[in-house]
């Protein structure tokens, strides 16, 4: 007999860490592991070790969200500006090692799927997920499915904002994520002597520090400038903001909302697009990757409409 509610191991393999957890079909998380991102030769072995620590007889599947370009149909990590590895058949490696079904997707796709299934986007048909991590990750969920284009849709952080702008990790200039990202907020915190991270900057802002608030307003306006482009193209029901944006909350999102209202074509003729923090916050990719894996294996479905 098939148990009613088996769990999956969900993994967030980002630009600086591997975070994994046992995720139940309702989105709750049991045991967790977290390690700094290993260098290229050790990365896949250490990914396998982290997962092995969490696999149990209750595990139905393994889901991995990776920062960068992933060929979903093959479960293959191709390339990413924040990743040390290229062309690795991650899904096949995990399925062979654990004798369990595995899925491998872009980290934002996984998070956007999870947020739409059980999080801040629940009940909406057209959800844009935007996460501030090592760069800006994006995913578009249409009627409960991730829109992938041919394979690599959603690389929104590399929209050109200024062709002569700062150099991006991808090798081009003036990408959106050179103005807004987790590391941009980390750098601002250090520049102002307010700590080492965007979380420190946000904490100072919530405590009323004027410089922190003004910095978050400036970065928030850049966030809104890019979002107004995406909203003009996609017209989603709402935008779910993950990663560092979920931590900064309205300190960052209010100036983004103001920028959208002033920049979006015909804004006064539209219903305002809601901008909401991710319910699963920094764990959205871990949870979403596990739910993608469970969806494939136990038929977990997104409620439509």
Binding region for Zn ion (CB under 5 A): 158, 168, 170, 175
Nearer to Zn ion, 184 or 253 (CB): 184
**Cβ 9 to Zn ion, closest distance in Å?**
31
Nearer to Zn ion, 134 or 295 (CB): 134
The SS3 of residue 205 is: helix
| Cβ(68)–Cβ(78) below 8 Å | yes
**Cβ 267 to Zn ion, closest distance in Å?**
27
Query: Which of left, alpha, beta for 16 (phi over 0: left; psi -120 to 50: alpha)?
Result: alpha
Nearer to Zn ion, 168 or 240 (CB): 168
**Cβ 222 to Zn ion, closest distance in Å?**
14
| E strand segments, 90-216 | 102-106, 126-132, 136-142, 145-146
Torsion of CA 210, 275, 137, 231, to 10 degrees: -120
**H or E segment to which residue 23 belongs:** strand 17-23
Nearer to Zn ion, 161 or 302 (CB): 161
| Nearest CA-CA partner of 286 in 13, 75, 25 | 13
Nearer to Zn ion, 71 or 158 (CB): 158
**Cβ 167 to Zn ion, closest distance in Å?**
9
**Cβ 165 to Zn ion, closest distance in Å?**
10
| Cβ(66)–Cβ(10) below 8 Å | no
Radius of gyration of the chain (CA): 19
**Cβ 67 to Zn ion, closest distance in Å?**
13
CA gap 8, 101 in Å, rounded: 10
Nearer to Zn ion, 97 or 172 (CB): 172
């Amino acid at each position: 007999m098939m148990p009613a509610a088996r769990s999956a191991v969900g993994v967030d393999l980002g630009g600086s860490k591997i975070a994994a957890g046992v995720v139940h079909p309702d989105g709750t998380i049991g045991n967790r592991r977290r390690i700094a991102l290993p260098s290229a030769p050790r990365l896949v072995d250490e990914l396998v070790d982290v997962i092995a620590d969490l696999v149990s007889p209750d595990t139905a599947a393994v889901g991995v969200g990776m920062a960068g370009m992933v060929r979903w149909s093959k479960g293959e990590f191709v390339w990413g500006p924040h990743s040390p590895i290229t062309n690795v058949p991650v899904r096949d490696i995990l399925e062979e090692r654990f004798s369990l079904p595995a899925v491998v997707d872009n980290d934002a796709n996984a998070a956007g799927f999870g947020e739409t299934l059980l999080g801040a986007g629940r009940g909406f048909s057209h959800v844009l997920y935007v996460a501030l991590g090592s760069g800006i990750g994006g995913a578009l969920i249409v009627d409960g499915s991730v829109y992938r284009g041919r394979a690599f849709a959603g690389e929104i952080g590399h929209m050109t904002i200024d062709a002569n702008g700062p150099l991006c990790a991808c090798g081009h200039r003036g990408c959106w994520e050179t103005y807004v990202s987790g590391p941009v907020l980390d750098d601002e915190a250090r520049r102002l002597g307010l700590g080492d991270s965007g979380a420190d900057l946000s904490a100072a802002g919530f405590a009323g520090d004027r410089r922190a608030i003004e910095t978050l307003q400036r970065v928030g306006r850049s966030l809104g400038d890019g979002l107004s482009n995406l909203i003009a193209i996609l017209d989603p029901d709402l935008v779910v903001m993950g990663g560092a944006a979920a931590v900064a909350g309205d300190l960052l999102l209010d100036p983004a909302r103001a920028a959208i209202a002033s920049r979006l074509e015909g804004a006064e003729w539209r219903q305002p697009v809601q901008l909401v923090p991710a319910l699963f916050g920094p764990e959205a990719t871990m949870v979403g990757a596990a739910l993608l894996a469970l969806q494939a294996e136990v038929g977990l479905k997104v409620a439509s409409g």
